[in-house]
């Protein structure tokens, strides 16, 4: 290749999630774009994004049953509905927890001009990807009560306002006591704030009952 051709080669553009704090000159991100850049697996969408969106107050029984069937394929002969019950509740709680925790930590996202919406997290919608795990989150039109960069304390109050009722009313195919439900609310918030780092948990997800698996890091069973 000649020098003239080499001089016109463009460098490959970096993947946005590898450099979450680096913006193009003059770029202005929406809240959905900024969250997607920051989050390791969720894609955030604006309010008008098409899709078969699910609510945080959906009937979770079919979702749990689908996870039980998947576990039966992965671990033949194992019957552990408590794992599916705990995992689906975790997935539900992760949606508001991660959305609000990551939004509170943003400094570069522009504040939305509309009035702040109380109960914003209750309006979040999501879709399920492979293996019945949420993969996309649709944001409401109004921005969260605190707005980007507002601080975690206010974001946690907004999170708990929706997460605690969701956990308390959650229909499970196996017994989940009030301590487990309340612990999951706290644990999902701690994990969202920690952004991948292990945290001490108050609840158990029962993964240890599956063949070849053991307690998660921070599991309360390890303290006994």
Cβ neighbour number for residue 182 with a 10 Å cutoff: 16
pLDDT in tens, 11-50: 333 444 444 444 444 456 888 999 999 999 999 999 999 9
pTM of the model: 0.80
For residues 129 and 111, what is the distance between their CA atoms, to the nearest angstrom?
Answer: 30
Distances (CA, A) of 200 to 29, 33, 117: 34, 31, 32
**Residue pLDDT, tens place only, 91-123:** 999 999 999 999 888 865 444 434 345 577 889
Q: Whole-angstrom Cα distance, residue 83 to residue 205?
A: 6
Instruction: Look up residue 217 and give its two tokens.
Output: 């890091």
The tokens describing 117, both together, are 């919406």
b/e 136-171 (16+ beta carbons within 10 angstroms → b): bbbbbebbbbbbbebebeebbebbbbbbeebbeebe
What three-state secondary structure class fits 45?
A: strand
pLDDT at residue 141, as a whole number: 81
């Amino acid at each position: 290749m000649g020098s003239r051709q080499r001089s016109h080669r463009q460098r490959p553009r970096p993947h946005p999630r590898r450099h979450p704090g680096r913006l193009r000159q003059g770029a202005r991100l929406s809240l959905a774009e900024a969250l997607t850049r920051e989050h390791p697996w969720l894609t955030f969408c604006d309010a008008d994004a098409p899709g078969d969106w699910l609510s945080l107050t959906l009937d979770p029984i079919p979702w749990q049953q689908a996870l039980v069937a998947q576990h039966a394929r992965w671990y033949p002969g194992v019957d552990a509905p408590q794992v599916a019950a705990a995992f689906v509740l975790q997935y539900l709680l992760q949606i508001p927890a991660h959305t609000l925790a990551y939004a509170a930590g943003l400094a570069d996202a522009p504040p939305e001009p509309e009035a702040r919406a109380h109960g914003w997290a209750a309006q979040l919608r999501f879709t399920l990807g492979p293996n019945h795990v949420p993969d996309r989150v649709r944001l409401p039109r109004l921005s969260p009560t605190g707005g980007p960069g507002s601080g975690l304390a206010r974001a946690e109050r907004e999170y708990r306002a929706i997460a605690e009722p969701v956990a308390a009313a959650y229909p499970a195919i196996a017994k989940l006591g009030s301590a487990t439900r309340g612990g999951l609310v706290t644990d999902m918030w701690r994990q969202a704030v920690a952004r991948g780092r292990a945290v001490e948990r108050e609840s158990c997800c029962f993964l240890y009952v599956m063949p070849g698996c053991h307690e998660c890091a921070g599991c309360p069973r390890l303290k006994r």
